[in-house]
Every structure is written in C-alpha cells, then in structure tokens.
Amino acid sequence: MHQSMCRIQRGPFVYYTCRRLPVRHAFTTKSGGVSTGHCESLNLGFNRGDTEENVRENYRRLAQAVGVDEQRFTLTKQIHETEVSVVTEAEVGMGLHKPMAWQSDAIVTALPDTPLIGFYADCVVTLLYDPVTHTAGVCHAGWRGMAGGILPKTVDVMAEKLGTRRESLRAVLGPSIRQECFETDADVPEAMEQQLGALVQPYIQEKGIKFHVDLQGIGVKLLLDAGLQPENVIDSGICTMCHSDEFWSHRKTNGVRGVQGGMICL
C-alpha cells in the first residue's frame, strides 16, 4: 500500500483515503452497510441482486461517514467505454435520485458539495483533484477503458471544460486487481497494444500461455504523458483480489458480489 493511503474505520464502516487529496473522498470496502448474502454489507450497486432499500440505506451511511449530502450523490454509468461527462447543477443526483442522462465511465465537476462516484470490484477507479482550480473527477477503467485512453481523456476534458491545470492536478488510482492476479489470454494484451502501441509492452508479462497485465502501471504512464507531475500521481498499491476479505473482487467471486465506490466531493 502506498505510504499516503490511510485505512479509516468508524465502527463497522471501513474505507480508504489518500493524504494527497485534501477534500472529502473515500474508496469504500465491503464493510459498513446493511446488505446481506453475496452483497454483504456495503453494496453500492443497484444491479447486483440487492434490494433497492438496502442500497439506498448504504448510500445514506456513506454520506454520514464522510460528511456529504446524500441528495447530491452523482453516479457514473459504466459501460467500459471512454465517454467523459461534466456534471452541472442540472445533472446533480443522477443515478440515485433522478434518471441518468449519460453513459459515462468518467464524470468531472467544479460544483461544490457534489459527491461524484465511480464503481469497482477489480477495475481501476481514479480520483482526480486540482487544488489550484478546485475541480474534481472520478474515472472508471477496466482494460478496455484503459486501452481506449479514458484517463488522459478525462484530464483533457477537465482542462478544456473546467480550466483544470495539468501541472497541479492530482490523481489517485484506487484499489483494483494488480498484475500478479490479473491473468488474461493473448487477446487482452493484443487489443491493448493495437490501441496504445508499444507504450503497454513494459507492463505485460508473458507466463506460459497466459499474460499478466499491469493496469495501474499503464494508467500512471498515461497520466504522466497527459501532463501530470510524477509526485501527483499515486497508485494506491492495494489489490482487490489479494485482499478479497476486505474488498469485492469480480475474479475472486466469479461475478457473484456487491460493488465498491470511489467517491470525491469538493
């Protein structure tokens, strides 16, 4: 785990933060909610076989734990693509209190008191914050999104639409499946090389007929190439599959699971 990461426990509620993000934020774990069965206990996904009542109560508990307005939670709609949306006042509450108007794996904003959430159970959720312009974003990337360049695209949208400064922008790559556990067939590295070229080659290890991909390493490289400073890009270092006692891992559970959230709020 990166030295700037902190494990926070308040009663049964457990989440992780990063000292480099001086705004309200959290990478949630399985602990602290009311869900039962394979979604026990802090499931934040409405499509995991949980009851809507349980999920909404989990959001209320998250809001209380980190000190945000539950009515203003704004969610991503994750389809493993590279769409980035800017959250204005008209979109606040989408996904929880009003229907979504987008299918975006990344959302960004300059609005205060507006918690943005992306979801993970192995995929890489990155929280972004610029202390100079006070802008923020959340970006979800599986291998398809990472190959499609959603992380640098999110940086571009923040710079172009919100005035975010690349040289002061901070990014924290949250708990996610790491290279040792992320075993794939040849189609994954081939597809990533087709889109990103030789950039990805140092982050792919061939082991027999299988391959192991370092998604976090690729993400860090893409962020640096997008103009972020090395000291402002933090890889949490936490593997969801290695720590499946605390996090849901899609691989570990064969997809029978709840979902965690990466949240940031100006």
The residue extents of the domains of the chain are: 5-265
Q: Give the pLDDT score at 151.
A: 98
Q: Give the pLDDT score at 35.
A: 98
Q: Give the pLDDT score at 166.
A: 98
Are β-strands 204-207 and 210-213 bridged in parallel, bridged antiparallel, or unpaired? Answer: antiparallel
Summarize the confidence of residues 107-135 as an average pLDDT: 98
Residues 263 and 31: their CA atoms lie apart, in Å, by: 16
Segment 40-89, tens digit of pLDDT: 999 999 999 999 999 999 999 999 999 999 999 999 999 999 999 999 99
Segment 243-253, tens digit of pLDDT: 999 999 999 99
Segment 12-45, tens digit of pLDDT: 999 999 999 999 999 999 999 999 999 999 999 9
Burial class (CB in 10 A: 0-12, 13-18, 19+), 108: buried
The predicted model scores a pTM of 0.98
Q: Give the pLDDT score at 260.
A: 98
Give first-to-last CA distance, the chain, whole Å: 25
Summarize the confidence of residues 127-143 as an average pLDDT: 98
Q: Give the pLDDT score at 190.
A: 95
Reading phi first (left if > 0) and then psi (alpha if -120 to 50, else beta), residue 32 is in left
- 209: Cα within 13 Å, side-chain hemisphere: 0
CATH superfamily, region 5-265: CNF1/YfiH-like putative cysteine hydrolases (3.60.140.10)
